Amino acid sequence: MKLIVLDRDGVINFDSDLYIKSADEWRPIPGSMPAIARLNQHGYRVAVATNQAGISRGLFDMKALGSMHLKLHQAAQMAGARIDAIFFCPHSSEEKCECRKPMPGMLLSIGKRFSVSLRDIPVVGDSLRDLQAAEQVGASPYLVLTGKGQQTLENGNLPHGTKVFDNLAMMVDRLLHAEGLVPETVEMARAALQKKK
């Protein structure tokens, strides 16, 4: 079984410094749902691991989070995609739990749920803590430049071997191409040439 783990805010949907607090505020990033559908079509199970400290901070409750995730599942279905599991941490950083990224708890739980080793599985995020959690479990860190990704890249100190892509759609295209599952697109070739210049 092939597994990929995605952060939510800033990777699948638009992020906000004020938190995404309701289903109305939850909006998918263009191209993210078709990208997940392509993963599904090529045999990937898709899990989401998301820090949701807004619950601990009293900004929204579990019902609101459930509504956001229902909207996520519905948006995925409309694109022919499937999210196999959503794991979330409701704690703030002050609570020093084991599940809040950069701690590895959520990723370890995902590995147990799917009965797979996390070594080298792709973990996609837009913040340093996503990448650090991946590094702790031996997964492959991928940074996307949506959400907080550009700032994360500029701040540096990325884990060794982090691969960087403009967005989830481009990351998925490159991943599937590297596995020989899809031919390289013209857009991918142009992007690669621009990075070499």
pLDDT digits (tens, 9 = 90+) for 169-190: 999 999 998 877 666 655 655 6
Rounded to an integer, what distance in angstroms lies between the CA atom of residue 25 and that of residue 15? 9
And the tokens for 95?
């609570």
Q: Residue 191 belongs to what domain range?
A: 2-196
- Report the interhelical angle of 62-78 vs 32-41 (nearest 10°): 70
Position 179 scores a pLDDT of 79
CATH number reported for the structural domain that contains residue 26 in this entry? 3.40.50.1000
- Distance from the Cα of residue 196 to its chain's centroid: 26
Which residue among the candidates 9, 126, 130, 173 is catalytic per the annotation? 9
Which residue among the candidates 7, 126, 130, 173 is catalytic per the annotation? 7
Position 181 scores a pLDDT of 67
And the tokens for 162?
């982090």
Rounded to an integer, what distance in angstroms lies between the CA atom of residue 144 and that of residue 132? 14
Output DSSP code: residue 4. Answer: E
Position 51 scores a pLDDT of 97
Q: Which portions of the chain are predicted below pLDDT 50? A: none
How many domains is the chain built from?
1
Position 193 scores a pLDDT of 62
Position 178 scores a pLDDT of 84
Strand, helix or coil for residue 7: coil
Closest CA to 165 of 129, 141, 135, 197: 141
Based on the residue annotation, tell me whether 9 is a catalytic residue of this protein: yes
Position 177 scores a pLDDT of 87
Query: What is the layout of strands, in order, in the sheet containing 122-125?
Result: 85-89, 44-51, 2-6, 122-125, 140-144, 163-165
Closest CA to 36 of 79, 96, 90, 67: 79
- Digit-coded pLDDT (tens) for 55-91: 999 999 999 999 999 999 999 999 999 999 999 999 9
Exposure string of 107-134, with b = 16+ CB inside 10 Å and e = fewer, is: bbbbbeebeeebeebbbbbbbbbbbbbb
* Burial tier of 26 (Cβ tally within 10 Å: 0-12, 13-18, 19+): buried
Helix (H), strand (E) at residue 48:
strand 44-51
Based on the residue annotation, tell me whether 61 is a catalytic residue of this protein: no
Position 58 scores a pLDDT of 94
User: What residues pair up with 104 in beta bridges, in sequence order?
Assistant: none
